[in-house]
Amino acid sequence: MHKYIIKRLLMLIPVMLGISFILYSIMTLTPGDPAQLILGPGATEEAIELKRQELGTDKGFWEGYVDWLTNAVQGDFGTSYRSKEPVFNEVFARFPNTLKLASSAIILSVIFGIGIGIFQAVRQYSMSDNIISGITLVLTSMPDFWIGLILIIVFAVWLKVLPASGANHWYNFIMPALTASVGYTAGTIRLTRSSMLEVIRSDYIRTARAKGAAEKTIIFKHALKNALLPVVTLIGINLGWQLGGTIIVEQIFAIPGIGTLMIGAVRSKDTPLLMASVLFVAFLSALINLITDILYAYIDPRIKAEYSK
């Protein structure tokens, strides 16, 4: 197991290098001059050139990337072009809001997704199963921005019970978490139902029933544990997506998180800030995938045996 973990961590090195190179290429080779954007359209050419020297954008592509990479290896990811602050100061200041939003959405999707999925599997082809299947199909097709706008209209404009923006209190995250969790909850419901149905039809489940085991014991002790592997995979993937994919939700509800930070960095061509934000999210997503793989070993002993080999 330890060798497997070390191997996966070492694999992060080329992945991070590839991400950094692609990001730097996009930000450097696309149209737009950070110095011009900062100084405005009325700036003189001399002032722009001095600003480029100050920002370090006057260097060539390879020279600039090698300089950034050399500093990054030493722990210096640069300073933001606009705020003049170390980039990770801004990332860490925004990350708690994104983490609250992502974790709340995942918790909601896990609780309702697994619970409703089990309920559907136990009552396969019943009226409730058909109704829930139809609802999940509709929810899967709904975009986040549409769900967020509907929630704002209903709960913030009509009922006036929840704030439409901000991140100062816990209730500011109710509507954003609901918005971000809808699609993931629907997907978790569908996957849990299909996994449970596959396991319930297994021979050992029929044997347990023949021996007179209680239905709750069969469902929660025998069937659910063996049906969790694909669900755990989906939850891990969803959490990784949530950390970097809450851009739309953060924009709708004006939440100062990683997503809005990335958008601001793209608009101002703040290369160091964007690269630090994306690399931070990519690193967390890779760690989440690794933790998900490790959880497999505790759910299924056969996988733990494979890791040991």
Per-residue confidence (pLDDT) for residue 218, from 0 to 100? 87
Rounded to whole angstroms, the maximal C-alpha distance in the chain is 87
Indicate whether 37 and 117 sit together in one domain: no
Per-residue confidence (pLDDT) for residue 241, from 0 to 100? 83
Which residues 6+ apart lie within 8 Å of 261 measured at CB? 90, 91, 94, 273, 277
Per-residue confidence (pLDDT) for residue 240, from 0 to 100? 82
Letter for the amino acid at 129? Answer: D
List the pLDDT tens digit at each of the 309 positions of the chain. Answer: 677 778 888 888 999 999 999 999 999 988 888 998 888 888 888 998 998 888 888 888 999 999 999 999 998 999 999 888 999 999 999 999 999 999 999 999 999 999 999 999 999 889 999 999 999 999 988 998 999 999 999 999 999 999 998 888 999 999 999 999 999 999 999 999 999 999 988 888 888 888 888 888 888 888 888 888 888 888 888 888 888 778 889 999 999 999 899 999 998 899 999 999 999 999 998 888 888 877 877 776 666 656 565
* Domain final residue, candidates 41, 73, 105: 73
Indicate whether 127 and 206 sit together in one domain: yes
* Domain final residue, candidates 40, 73, 106: 73
Q: In this structure, is residue 238 part of a structural domain?
A: yes
Contact assessment for residue 110 and residue 181, using Cβ atoms and an 8 Å cutoff:
no
Contact assessment for residue 234 and residue 188, using Cβ atoms and an 8 Å cutoff:
yes
Per-residue confidence (pLDDT) for residue 151, from 0 to 100? 94
Per-residue confidence (pLDDT) for residue 293, from 0 to 100? 79
Per-residue confidence (pLDDT) for residue 300, from 0 to 100? 67
Burial class (CB in 10 A: 0-12, 13-18, 19+), 86: middle
Indicate whether 173 and 260 sit together in one domain: yes
Tell me the two tokens of residue 201: 């039809």
Indicate whether 213 and 263 sit together in one domain: yes
Per-residue confidence (pLDDT) for residue 97, from 0 to 100? 94
Domain range for 128 is: 95-267
Indicate whether 162 and 258 sit together in one domain: yes
Indicate whether 136 and 220 sit together in one domain: yes
- Give the count of alpha carbons within 13 A of 199, CB side only: 23
Domain holding 162: CATH number?
1.10.3720.10
Indicate whether 140 and 234 sit together in one domain: yes
Q: In this structure, is residue 285 part of a structural domain?
A: no
* Domain final residue, candidates 252, 267, 282: 267
What phi and psi, each to the nearest 5 degrees, are found at residue 246? -90, 20
Tell me the two tokens of residue 250: 């953060």
- Give the count of alpha carbons within 13 A of 126, CB side only: 8
Indicate whether 57 and 111 sit together in one domain: no
Q: In this structure, is residue 306 part of a structural domain?
A: no
Indicate whether 155 and 229 sit together in one domain: yes
Indicate whether 67 and 108 sit together in one domain: no
Letter for the amino acid at 249? Answer: V
Contact assessment for residue 172 and residue 178, using Cβ atoms and an 8 Å cutoff:
no
Indicate whether 47 and 172 sit together in one domain: no
Q: Give CA separation, 296 vs 17, 115, 142, 154, 291, in Å.
A: 28, 20, 31, 41, 9
Tell me the two tokens of residue 42: 């009325």
Contact assessment for residue 109 and residue 189, using Cβ atoms and an 8 Å cutoff:
no
Contact assessment for residue 184 and residue 113, using Cβ atoms and an 8 Å cutoff:
yes
CA distance 190 to 197: 11
Indicate whether 207 and 104 sit together in one domain: yes
Q: In this structure, is residue 36 part of a structural domain?
A: yes
Say how many domains are in the chain: 2
